[in-house]
Chains A and B, each alone.
Chain A
Amino acid sequence: MAASMEHEIERYLLGDPLEASKVIASEINKSNAKFISFIEGLQAGLTNSDNVTRGRATHMIGDVVEMLPPSFLSQEQGDMLTTFLLSKLRDHHSVQPHALQSLAVLTSRCSPLGDETVKDICHTIFQEVQNQTLSHADRGATYRVLQNLLGASTQILKDMGGDFVIGFIQQMDAEKDPRNLLICFNCAHFICSNFSLGPFAEEMFEILGCYFPVDFVPPPNNPHGITKEELVIALRKCFGATSQFAEYSIPLLLEKMTSDLQSARLDSFLTLAECAPVYGVKGLTPFLGSINSTVKREVLMNITSALVGAANNAITSVYKALVQSSTNLINLSNVSESIVELYQDVVKFLEGTDLKKGCLAFSLCHAVANSSAFAMGVMIPLVLPSLISCCQKQDQVSEQLAFVKELNGFLSVIHSQKGNTDVLSSLQILIKSACTVFDQLLKSTSSDLQLEAIKGLSLISTPSIAADADQIQNFLVMLVTKSLTVPCSDLRWEVLKSLQAILEEEPKLSEQTIKSLVEQSKQDNFKLASEALVYTAVNRDSFTKVNNIFLEIMSQDIQALSENSDHLLSCAQAMKQLVHQISFTEMFSQVQASTALPLISLSIQASELWTKESSKTCQALMSCFRETFYVFGQFMEKSEVASFWDKMTLLFLEGEIENHDFSKNLKKVQPFQSESSWQQTRLVALMEGFVASADIQALVERREQIFEAAYILALHSPDEFTHLSACKCVAALVNKAPIGSQIQWFLEPIVDKLKRAMARENTLPSRLRAVQLWLWLTKAMEIRGHSATTILSSHLVSLLDDPDVGSEVGRSLSMIVEDMDMFSARNHSIITPLYKQRFFALNLKALLNGYQNAVSKDIKQNYLLAMSGIVSRLPLQVTKPHLTQMMPLLMLALRDSKNPNLGPILSTMSMAGAIAPQTVSSNMDSLVPQLLDLSIASVDMKVRIAALECLEQLTGLPSHVLVPHQTKVVHELKKALDDKKRLVRRQAAETRSSWILLQPESKS
């Protein structure tokens, strides 16, 4: 071994350091060789008279130790080696860096070292190493040694006291490499926050302060990965490491806050905000006046919102720190004096005529008030009277709005201190007068002002702030009235939110609110009242009440079906909202018993009452319930899902009512029998809602039966609504079915059966039903990206050639690439990303070929339909590479006035103008006349508008393409200006104007 050790050492010294040290370290680690023999082997190198060889040998110690496991060397060995390396520091100046590097490794690998050794290291480094003369890597080694020691032997260094601090300062002095600075800043932060700096605080700050503000710009590509932000944050931490820095750092920060550089000012405010809590009252008080005036200056200058925000933040943080660290009343009275001074400084703006400055000054006062309850107590009585008078004085809506927003800012401060009754009691009069302001605003015609007024009132209408219960009561009454009169808008949303917030604070008021709303709902504004009722469900009691009210109303409405279907439907909508509202709360656990089962009972009762005339209402109600069932599936606990599934499946498959919490007097239903009446089969929509949304893991029992039943129903039910529902049921189950052989197992027989059902000898309606089901199956499989999906989709494309069902397939094929709520992560669906793109890429060729080879015009039309549907529903980035190929086909599709996809194709075209201008430009000659024709002659106003919009979008193309058509377009569009529909005329005026305005741009 000895021979090979010598050989490896030789190799290292001659120039292959990495390999050689690896070999030696692994030998030592495997105990094939001893560490001591390695050192002995090095003897020749270490004592060589050539400086270079000696240096390399010294370096080798570090390299080998680095590859040994941590703590491989004993403390004794470590101490010994350290002593040796320290002596090497005194060797020739070219050996010193190698010794430093090895020391850096040693201090990180052998810890702890002996106390004396640690002290020795520090003393020797401080004495022998002139850090400023070394290269950046070697300087880094020095810092690493110190950093390692700080981590491992903190106490010993602490005992060294000032010696260590001054030593560190000397070593760090004049460092300018950002890599080293990061280490230095970390060490400095550690030292300042853990060591007593004694007389060296000023020196310490001086070497740190000279880096502020950091203006480092990383080199291109940033090879070392150091960013300006890292340095800024590290330095900011140092500033805030000890309160001793306050007297040095605040003057520096104040100076930089008046710098011309915005970034320096921003950094200063951010730093002050972070340091203030550490500096405390003692550090901050001497500079309070200057801080006030500097922040005031910045806020009123209003350069950028970021600067104003940072300045306001800084002042908040300063006053927060002042109040928190004030230990006696004298301090607090100083703070309040300073707040008053600040207020007096800005008072002329508060009462002045300049709206912008006034608002900025208020925002500054707001920042101070926001800092603590004490500051709020001082500031708010000073400011609020003038703010309130500002709100009252203004008669222009925009200015009033600006002031009211500020007022609401102050009120939210009061709201945040609602537990602090001492301070609040002194503010009662002000709060009262704010109420008067709001009462006036509520009478204004501007909905924005009303909105702010309601926001403000709901902030102060909580029991702890509003002294008298009457005020809350009155506000609540006002909200109830508003909720019944204001139709949909932001204002309504705010009203309802406030209503909810107040009832959450004061649940005992909800009973009477519900009562008055129910009272109101009997008059003609039932829709608004029921919507408002949803927001009164703030706890279990009120939820149960509202829930039962809705159920009762619906049950009555169903009995009197022919009279008022709108009433029934808006109640069902409100029920859906109610369920959605509580889905995130603990109240949802009772929803199965309180809502889900009663809704099923209700639907079954209704199924006996539907007539031919009320068939539409039945569809609408069932669709609404289906969406409610989505919520059940999405939010129920797994065990709840399982038990609800149990009850539902038994009811749907076997008509079992008795043992399951449904109301007793129900008749037996068989919704899955295709022979049943449509009134019964439409109940499948409920099943669909639940299956589509619930987690399949919980739907275990009778899943296959449900699948079979839904599948048969989808094939045979003559009722359109039922058929679609059943198709979706099947699709949801297929999409969610657990991965594995199961899918194949139920897919294969289905595919065979479906193919037979689609065969020519069957009647057209039943063939069409089979096609629909096939489409849904394909959709479900495409979304989950199943490997079998190509069989399904290629068969679909081939069906386009069928003279009977081809047009249906053409119309519906685009459904596969459409986004649907039904398939979403919330509904626990399995979704592969980019499935649409995959479908498009795999089937494009077949579609294009099919079009070329189609035998008749009708068949060609089917392909055009399918293609235009798919293309207009896909993101344009996907279709862009094929756009040149497809453009002629799309133009052909535009000629077909019966194509249902005209609108989508037109919007695709408008986007294409922006994304692929080249392709669109080359087709302008045929596109422009086509669009003009559509915008004047099309029967559908939506198409006319879309064509006009497309024409407008085209003006983004280069002018040499547009100018040849300009005269014609401007002339032809005169006809569109006299369209019988106003919306078309509006778009026509815009489009024409942008075509007219082309000219000056093309000239310049």
Chain B
Amino acid sequence: MSELDNANPLVYEVSKARQILPEEEDDSITDKFDTREIFDLIRVINDPEHPLTLEELNVVLESNVKVDDDNNSVYVEFVPTIPHCSMATLIGLSIRVKLLRSLPPRFKVDVKIAPGTHESELAVNKQLADKERVAAALENTHLLELVNQCLSKRATG
């Protein structure tokens, strides 16, 4: 990565850890999956370029997450920092893989670029929606390593 696409991005404030409600500690109540829960999973993903999280770069927002627990679907839109960001596919892939690993298999996961925020929006969306291409991408050890880097816990902080 010799040259950065976006060398000096704006950094946004990180939301506070979710407050734990008494109901959540009560074993007899069932908690449904909600948008914040999904958002908590993806907001900590590292940006491939910067030592920052997707949340700090405003790539993912809680308002861009939709979840329907009863119908088993999760829908996430993300906003690349700049319209010609070459990392958009990698970011999308990371979000997808993170959700695949962290959600029960009953969910259908859709990850897309928010409309009008990227030049090659359609192409990237198509790649991300293609199950086989995602599976093939993860066979590629180099790519898998990149994705895992995005998903690993940051060494500092």
The answer to whether A binds B is yes
* Residues of chain A whose beta carbon lies under 8 Å from any beta carbon of chain B: 396-398, 446, 939-941, 974, 977-978, 980-983, 985-986, 989, 992-993, 996-997, 1000
What is the CA–CA distance of A982 and B29 in the complex, to the nearest angstrom? Answer: 10
Are A977 and B103 closer than 8 Å at their CB atoms?
Answer: yes
Q: A978-B104, A978-B106 are in contact. Are A997 and B27 (CB under 8 A)?
A: no
Are B102 and A446 closer than 8 Å at their CB atoms?
Answer: no
Task: Return A196 CB to nearest CB of chain B, in Å.
Answer: 58
Are B148 and A982 closer than 8 Å at their CB atoms?
Answer: no
What is the CA–CA distance of A993 and B94 in the complex, to the nearest angstrom? Answer: 13
Return the contact of B12 from the options A396, A940, A980, A997 (Cβ within 8 A). Answer: A396
What is the CA–CA distance of A986 and B106 in the complex, to the nearest angstrom? Answer: 17
Are A1000 and B145 closer than 8 Å at their CB atoms?
Answer: yes
Give the nearest-CB partner of A944 in chain B: B27
Task: Return B90 CB to nearest CB of chain A, in Å.
Answer: 16
Digit string of B42-73 for contact with A (CB within 8 Å is 1, else 0)?
Answer: 00000000000000000000000000000000
Tell me which residues across on chain A come within 8 A of B101, comparing CB atoms: 989, 992-993, 996
Interface of A is mostly: helix
What is the CA–CA distance of A767 and B105 in the complex, to the nearest angstrom? Answer: 55
Tell me which residues across on chain B come within 8 A of A446, comparing CB atoms: 13
What is the CA–CA distance of A398 and B12 in the complex, to the nearest angstrom? Answer: 7
Tell me which residues across on chain A come within 8 A of B105, comparing CB atoms: 974
Return the contact of A980 from the options B13, B30, B41, B144 (Cβ within 8 A). Answer: B30
Residue B31 CB within 8 A of the other chain: yes
What is the CA–CA distance of A97 and B24 in the complex, to the nearest angstrom? Answer: 85
Residue B82 CB within 8 A of the other chain: no
Return the contact of B102 from the options A939, A941, A989 (Cβ within 8 A). Answer: A989
Tell me which residues across on chain B come within 8 A of A396, comparing CB atoms: 10-13
Residue B25 CB within 8 A of the other chain: yes
Tell me which residues across on chain B come within 8 A of A997, comparing CB atoms: 148, 151-152
Tell me which residues across on chain A come within 8 A of B102, comparing CB atoms: 977, 989, 992-993
Q: B124-157: which residues lie under 8 A (CB-CB) from chain A?
A: 144-145, 148, 151-152
Q: Considering only CB atoms and an 8 Å cut-off, how many residues of chain B contact the other chain?
A: 25
Are B31 and A981 closer than 8 Å at their CB atoms?
Answer: yes
Tell me which residues across on chain A come within 8 A of B145, comparing CB atoms: 1000
Some 19 contacts from A to B, beta carbons below 8 A apart, are A396-B11, A396-B12, A396-B13, A397-B12, A398-B13, A446-B13, A940-B27, A974-B104, A980-B30, A982-B24, A985-B31, A986-B37, A989-B41, A989-B102, A993-B101, A997-B151, A1000-B144, A1000-B145, A1000-B148
**Which one of B25, B41, B102, B145 has the greatest number of beta carbons of chain A within 10 Å?**
B102
What is the CA–CA distance of A397 and B12 in the complex, to the nearest angstrom? Answer: 8
Tell me which residues across on chain A come within 8 A of B12, comparing CB atoms: 396-397
What is the CA–CA distance of A981 and B94 in the complex, to the nearest angstrom? Answer: 25
Residue B7 CB within 8 A of the other chain: no
Are B24 and A983 closer than 8 Å at their CB atoms?
Answer: yes
Task: Return B122 CB to nearest CB of chain A, in Å.
Answer: 31
Residue B1 CB within 8 A of the other chain: no
Task: Return A129 CB to nearest CB of chain B, in Å.
Answer: 60
What is the CA–CA distance of A849 and B152 in the complex, to the nearest angstrom? Answer: 47
Give the nearest-CB partner of A980 in chain B: B30
Are B104 and A977 closer than 8 Å at their CB atoms?
Answer: yes
Give the nearest-CB partner of B144 in chain A: A1000
Task: Return A547 CB to nearest CB of chain B, in Å.
Answer: 33
What is the CA–CA distance of A329 and B11 in the complex, to the nearest angstrom? Answer: 49
What is the CA–CA distance of A939 and B41 in the complex, to the nearest angstrom? Answer: 25
Tell me which residues across on chain A come within 8 A of B152, comparing CB atoms: 997
Tell me which residues across on chain B come within 8 A of A992, comparing CB atoms: 101-102
Task: Return A590 CB to nearest CB of chain B, in Å.
Answer: 40
Residue B40 CB within 8 A of the other chain: yes
Task: Return A802 CB to nearest CB of chain B, in Å.
Answer: 33
Task: Return B142 CB to nearest CB of chain A, in Å.
Answer: 11
Residue B20 CB within 8 A of the other chain: yes
Tell me which residues across on chain B come within 8 A of A398, comparing CB atoms: 11, 13
Q: A978-B104, A992-B101 are in contact. Are A983 and B10 (CB under 8 A)?
A: no
What is the CA–CA distance of A983 and B11 in the complex, to the nearest angstrom? Answer: 29
What is the CA–CA distance of A939 and B28 in the complex, to the nearest angstrom? Answer: 10
Give the nearest-CB partner of B21 in chain A: A982
Are B104 and A941 closer than 8 Å at their CB atoms?
Answer: no
What is the CA–CA distance of A446 and B101 in the complex, to the nearest angstrom? Answer: 33
Are B37 and A981 closer than 8 Å at their CB atoms?
Answer: no
Q: A989-B102, A997-B148 are in contact. Are A981 and B24 (CB under 8 A)?
A: yes
Give the nearest-CB partner of A445 in chain B: B13
Tell me which residues across on chain B come within 8 A of A980, comparing CB atoms: 30-31
What is the CA–CA distance of A845 and B117 in the complex, to the nearest angstrom? Answer: 70
Are A982 and B37 closer than 8 Å at their CB atoms?
Answer: yes
Q: B10-40: which residues lie under 8 A (CB-CB) from chain A?
A: 10-13, 20, 24-25, 27, 30-31, 37, 40
Task: Return B35 CB to nearest CB of chain A, in Å.
Answer: 12
What is the CA–CA distance of A398 and B102 in the complex, to the nearest angstrom? Answer: 31
Digit string of B103-122 for contact with A (CB within 8 Å is 1, else 0)?
Answer: 11110000000000000000
Task: Return A959 CB to nearest CB of chain B, in Å.
Answer: 15
